[in-house]
Amino acid sequence: MKTLLAHCQRLVVKVGSSLVTNQGAGLDHQALSNWARQIAALRESGHQVVLVSSGAIAEGMQRLGWKARPSAVHELQAAAAVGQMGLIQAYESCFSQLGLRAAQVLLTHADLADRERYLNARSTLLTLLELGVVPIINENDTVVTDEIKFGDNDTLGALVTNLIEADALVILTDQPGLYTADPRKDPSATLVEHAQAGEPTLELMAGGAGSSIGRGGMITKILAAKRAARSGAHTVIASGHERDVLVRLTQGESIGTLLEAPQLILAARKQWLADHLQVGGQLQLDAGAARVLRDEGKSLLPIGVTEVIGEFERGAVVALLDEQGRDIARGLVNYSATESRRIARHPSSAIESILGYVDQMELIHRDNLVLL
């Protein structure tokens, strides 16, 4: 069990408001530089890390000189907009001192529910990781209100985990992990070291936030672990104050609470693609394309498509038909039906001259394709 995280290469690390701020008084710069140093060490050891960080509202309150968290949503949104500047400046300075580039990415849950935006966010994040950049994500609080009311970046962490198919979600908070009851209220509560993500009993243990700074509490972390497990990712809930917590976790040490995903990533993703999305259209494949997909696990290139059936947007789920018309696979398509029709039967090298731009060389990337 100890070694589970040791096998995880792509990680989403989420740090909550309760950690990022210094008892509510602005940002804890020492803590930020500490995580940046650990993330730099992780990159050195070949890991890819996306950071989901809260703290915009807390920092905004400090900058605006507000003593108490406002209850009016528009004031929270204003504070988040002011504070996000400080948050990202602080990270930028920590990472640049370590010779690492960071990038700011603001997302909403709705962005990730929209297929086209989902694919755009996915390819941007994966490109940033390939470039060795550390993406720092927060909610785009200006355009949403639900999240800000519940203060729940845990869910965003899980959605990002699903989006980039991370191997693990590490949720750092102000407690050593999940306890059998809220330890602030029940001193006899004990630490849960290991459980299966999605186990219903976990939800009974978790209470709301313990401080006036954090909002979601443990329940959002438990639900985030359940969601992360849908794409096969394990979740660890641990204290952000624990020395070298990220480095030690990836070395296989058992710290905090490990919520294990029941399925392997590919199996879970397969299930998700096969179960959760309706088919927007169909692509008729030639015999060669059907064979390499089936036997060699390749991506689908436009040259192997003979006909495009239906109307769909980029990011739609389409069915892939073999020469006999059998539905052999599902996949998320990188081009709309109109574009797909134009590039079908052509080599990928011709995409740019036909469409005037290239998004991806594949019509459907292998990672977004499941054989039935």
Ligand X SMILES: N[C@@H](CCC(=O)OP(=O)(O)O)C(=O)O
List the binding residues for substrate.
54, 141, 153
Minimum CB separation of residue 80 from ligand X in Å reads 5
CA 338 to chain centre: 30
Residue whose CB is less far from ligand ADP, 4 or 178 = 178
Residue 290: which of ligand ADP, ligand X, none does it interact with, CB under 5 to 8 A by kind? none
Q: Does 290 bind ligand ADP (CB under 6 A)?
A: no
Q: Does 62 bind ligand ADP (CB under 6 A)?
A: no
Please state the residue numbers annotated as binding site for ATP. Answer: 14, 173-174
Q: Does 206 bind ligand ADP (CB under 6 A)?
A: yes
Q: Does 17 bind ligand ADP (CB under 6 A)?
A: yes
Report the alpha-carbon distance of residue 299 to residue 85 in Å, rounded. 40
Residue 19: which of ligand X, ligand ADP, none does it interact with, CB under 5 to 8 A by kind? ligand ADP
Q: Does 211 bind ligand ADP (CB under 6 A)?
A: yes
Report the alpha-carbon distance of residue 359 to residue 335 in Å, rounded. 8
Residue 225: which of ligand X, ligand ADP, none does it interact with, CB under 5 to 8 A by kind? none
Characterise 121 by phi-psi region: left (phi > 0), alpha (psi -120 to 50), beta (else).
alpha
Report the alpha-carbon distance of residue 103 to residue 126 in Å, rounded. 12
Q: Which residues bind ligand X (CB under 6 A)?
A: 16-17, 54-57, 80, 138-139, 141, 151-154, 214-216
Contact indicator for 128, 101 with CB cutoff of 8 Å: no
Residue 55: which of ligand X, ligand ADP, none does it interact with, CB under 5 to 8 A by kind? ligand X
Q: Which of 27, 166, 197, 218 binds ligand ADP (CB under 6 A)?
A: 218
Query: Interface with ligand ADP by CB under 6 A: which range of 59-67, 105-113, 177-185, 260-268?
Result: 177-185
Report the alpha-carbon distance of residue 227 to residue 268 in Å, rounded. 11
Q: Does 214 bind ligand ADP (CB under 6 A)?
A: yes
Residue 269: which of ligand X, ligand ADP, none does it interact with, CB under 5 to 8 A by kind? none
User: x/- string (CB under 6 A) for ligand ADP, residues 126-165?
Assistant: ----------------------------------------
Residue whose CB is less far from ligand ADP, 16 or 60 = 16
Q: Which of 135, 183, 198, 302 binds ligand ADP (CB under 6 A)?
A: 183
Residue whose CB is less far from ligand ADP, 249 or 344 = 249
Q: Which of 157, 217, 232, 281 binds ligand ADP (CB under 6 A)?
A: 217
Residue whose CB is less far from ligand X, 148 or 166 = 148
Residue 161: which of ligand ADP, ligand X, none does it interact with, CB under 5 to 8 A by kind? none
Report the alpha-carbon distance of residue 332 to residue 117 in Å, rounded. 12
Minimum CB separation of residue 242 from ligand X in Å reads 17
Q: Which of 36, 51, 178, 258 binds ligand ADP (CB under 6 A)?
A: 178
Report the alpha-carbon distance of residue 39 to residue 168 in Å, rounded. 14
Phi, then psi, of 37 in degrees rounded to 5 = -60, -40
**CA-atom Rg of the chain in angstroms:** 22
- For 55, the token pair is 């703290």
Residue whose CB is less far from ligand X, 141 or 167 = 141
Q: Does 281 bind ligand ADP (CB under 6 A)?
A: no
Residues at the site binding ligand ADP, with contacts judged by CB under 6 A: 16-19, 173-175, 178-179, 181-184, 205-207, 209-211, 214-218
